[in-house]
Homo-oligomer: A and B are copies of this chain.
Amino acid sequence: MRAEIISIGTELLLGHITDTNAVYLAQRLSALGIDLHFVSQVGDNRGRLTETLRKAWERADVIITTGGLGPTEDDVTREAIADLLQETPQVDSELAAVLTERYQLFSSAMPATNIKQAWLIPSATSLKNPSGTAPGWFVQNDNHIIISMPGVPKEMYQMWENEAEPRLSTLAGATIFTRILRISGMGESIVEDTIIDFIHLTNPTVATYAKSDAVDVRISAKAENTAKAREMVDDIDAQIRSVLGSVIFGEDKDTLASVAGDLLKKHGWTMSVMESCTGGLTASTITDIPGSSDYMRGGIVAYATDLKKSMGVPADVIEQHGVISRETALEMARASRLRCSSDVGIGITGVAGPDLQEGKPVGLVFIAIVTPETEVAEQFQMPGDRHDIKRRAALRALNMLRLALSSGSGN
């Protein structure tokens, strides 16, 4: 099955927005084992859109469009599909009823032109849109499928996952089950090399993705039903876990901060941070998690050296070992626990650059974790610029934290 994506909207061609919809759909299609050959962006122009659809019709089995389903004159996706198939749109009474009800819900009168959001053509059935007014179209005609969805990412994701993908995979005679394993502390290329035998599989498919906060391994299985597909994913999941081990920190929507937070709650412990080169980013990442106030007491950004001392890092340790040292990181973690009255403390000190500090290289970072049960400290040499070093150091600290919390008696 060959697919083509058409992203519709003049704002794309003016560079006002980035086409993240196509990236999402490309990933989903890849997991479905459907080959994506082309992605096109085209403006809100009926002629050019019809031309683009016609070209796609010639060379693809499945055409997926996003955008152009709104109620205004500029929204011409329905019109262009009708032009392509030479069919005439009609108001569908069920869709019209849903549309009217939705406007009544917000106590606003529906502009007359909006009725085109209740249109269908004979080849099309509708795709529900619980988050917006524009339903999608699922068109089947002459062994081709056209899936038309709104351009608003949240509406599109929901419609794809709940409405479009199930129909598409049923037509392909299969359902899909996907799980993402999230990895920290190992680079993408090493992950890929380590699980290369799995990456060559065709069903389930296994692929790696470098995200800003982790490396993702996506396992997708195609089977006659979800239970069977899930079983296939479980099998590969277990095999990959036995190879990769503790670098896997979570699944799907987990983040290092959410996983560390869950472990803290399990232990019944509170935490705090004293950070220097990360400048507040570690505390900020921890407090990104809703409910983090249950365990996060707070933190100290001890940027100036004398502030480290006044916040409880012994002056003689700094004099003997330097600010950028394993010993100072440990003392920062200990001082953090005392100053913030927390069970667990993190200490981070390093050189974010662009200049050397104490003659030590840019990217050198020491991180310490102190819990009621253990003390650990590690040295890292981080690549990249100031932003990269801050980001990597904060993530490393959270990874050390969740490892320290998992290895203890609480797990």
Contact = CB atoms under 8 A, between A and B. Distances in A.
Nearest to A5: B41
A70 interface: no
A279 B290 contact: no
Contact of A298 (B301, B352, B354): B301
Nearest to A40: B40
B13 A37 contact: yes
Interface stretch (A105-113, A117-125, A128-136, A280-288): A280-288
Number of copies: 2
Contact of A12 (B15, B26, B354): B26
A254 to B, nearest CB: 17
A288 B209 contact: no
A162 interface: no
A253 to B, nearest CB: 14
A365 interface: no
A300 B336 CA distance: 11
Contacts of A24: 15
Contacts of A179: none
Interface in A1-59: 12-20, 22-30, 36-43, 48, 52, 55
Interface centre among A13, A285, A302 (most CB of B within 10 A): A13
Contact of A26 (B13, B209, B339): B13
A51 to B, nearest CB: 9
A228 interface: no
Interface residues of A, number: 67
Contacts of A38: 13, 40-42, 48, 52
Contact of A280 (B26, B282, B340, B352): B282
A325 B209 CA distance: 44
A239 interface: no
Interface in A266-307: 273, 278-288, 290, 292-293, 296-304, 306-307
Nearest to A285: B280
A387 interface: yes
A200 B40 CA distance: 29
A386 interface: yes
A252 B291 CA distance: 38
Contacts of A390: 284, 287-288
A18 B18 contact: yes
A386 B293 CA distance: 13
9 contacts: A18-B18, A280-B287, A280-B299, A281-B284, A284-B284, A284-B390, A297-B304, A299-B301, A307-B341
Given A14-B36, A15-B22, A279-B292, 12 more contacts: A14-B207, A15-B23, A15-B30, A37-B42, A38-B41, A38-B48, A279-B286, A287-B301, A287-B390, A293-B304, A299-B301, A310-B339
